[in-house]
Structure formats: structure tokens, C-alpha cells
Chain A
């Protein structure tokens, strides 16, 4: 079983705001990073260090962290945001990494 817990599926109306959460004890000590994956494609880093975006990632995606929970928020969701989203961090040992089970985002 994964040490990072995500809701399996979330939906959002076009243009609205949605939050995807990731819970795990390791998040009290390690930053979460977030990855977007579209069908048939490799994952893409979208958020790291809680709320930093790589070049090219739109600023409607943002991250936050509180205690053992990391969140990815999409403000003004667009059709192209429909994808699977995964969180990741080091596990409690510090020498291994773990991914959340993933959240399938549907934009209605």
C-alpha cells in the first residue's frame, strides 16, 4: 500500500477551482512534488518544493502544504488540465521515494 494517499478521482467544472490532496506522514519532513500525466505520455513535473513551478507550467497550478497534507490547486481549470495527477516525496526512511496512488481529474 502507498504511504501517500490521494483521492482516486475528482471532477471540476470548466473555469472553476479544484484542489487535489495528498496525505502522508513523510510530508511532515519532506516536500511534496506533483506530476501530471496524460494518456500515453510520460509524467511531467508541475509543482515542486511545495509551490514552485517549472518553466512552462501555467500559474493557475499552485501548491501548498499543511502538516501531513500537500495540496495541488488548479484555479480556473481548463480542458487541457484533464489528466492524472501524482504526488511524490521521500518516504519516512529518507532513502526511498514514494508516489501517491494518483488522482484522475475530469474537467466537465
Chain B
């Protein structure tokens, strides 16, 4: 059974740093595409970052240069290192597995999601 369990959220001051973790089971993180998606309180979903199975990474403009997605293959775990945090980064952060079709490059979807971890940026 596929499971994703996020951890590492909490209260952090503006300008601070935090590292989120997403422990995966039931599949191999390094063989898949993995992403972070966040949701500010009462707002919609916002895509944050993706790491390809080959290791390439991409980030939303809103977090580029401040957030870094990575993985630890030995621990089958995905990470999101967040720095220079701002109040507007306050959100529930979800990790998700992403399917990108090799046959149809235009076909992508987020098939499994964790339950999320709350990050609050406030003084």
C-alpha cells in the first residue's frame, strides 16, 4: 500500500528556516516524480516544487531561490528545505507522487497525497 507521511511543520519566525520531510512506503521515491503542494488557510492549492526521477528539480516562482526540494534514496524520503520564510508561506504542505506519462508527455497527475503538515510563519 502506498503511503506518504509528512513531518517537520511548526511555528517559525519570519526569515527563519524549516525542513519538511515526507516518508514514503509502498514504492521507491527515487524511481518516481515527487512534488510538494501547499494550501494557505482557506485558500486553494498551489504547486511548489517537483523532483524528477533523474534528479532534476523545478520550483514555483514564488519560492524559487528560497526553497529546495531533495530526496534521500536510502531513507526513501522526500524533503523540502525552506529558508527566508515569509508570512505568506504559511500553509499546509502536502507531498504527492506525480505520474508523468512516457508515452503521452502531456499526461501528468498527482496520484497519491500525504495528509499534510502545517507551517506557520509568524513572530
Contacts and interface: CB of A to CB of B under 8 A. Distances in A.
Interface of A: 2, 29-31, 33, 35, 37, 42-45, 48-49, 54, 84, 86, 88-90, 95-102
Main secondary structure of the interface of B (DSSP, over half): strand
Nearest to B100: A90
Given A42-B115, A43-B113, A99 B45 contact: yes
Given A42-B115, A45-B110, 4 more contacts: A2-B44, A90-B106, A90-B108, A96-B58
Contact of B108 (A30, A37, A100): A30
Interface residues of B, number: 24
B44 A98 contact: no
Contact of B104 (A31, A42, A84): A31
A84 B45 CA distance: 10
B46 to A, nearest CB: 7
B18 to A, nearest CB: 20
Contact of B47 (A37, A44, A84, A97): A97
A98 B47 contact: yes
B29 to A, nearest CB: 18
Nearest to A27: B106
A86 B35 contact: no
Give the most central of B46, B101, B107: most A CB within 10 Å.
Answer: B107
Contact of B44 (A33, A44, A49, A99): A99
Interface string B80-123: 00000000000000100011010010111111011110000000
A99 B106 contact: no
B60 interface: yes
Interface in B40-79: 44-47, 50, 58, 60
Nearest to B52: A95
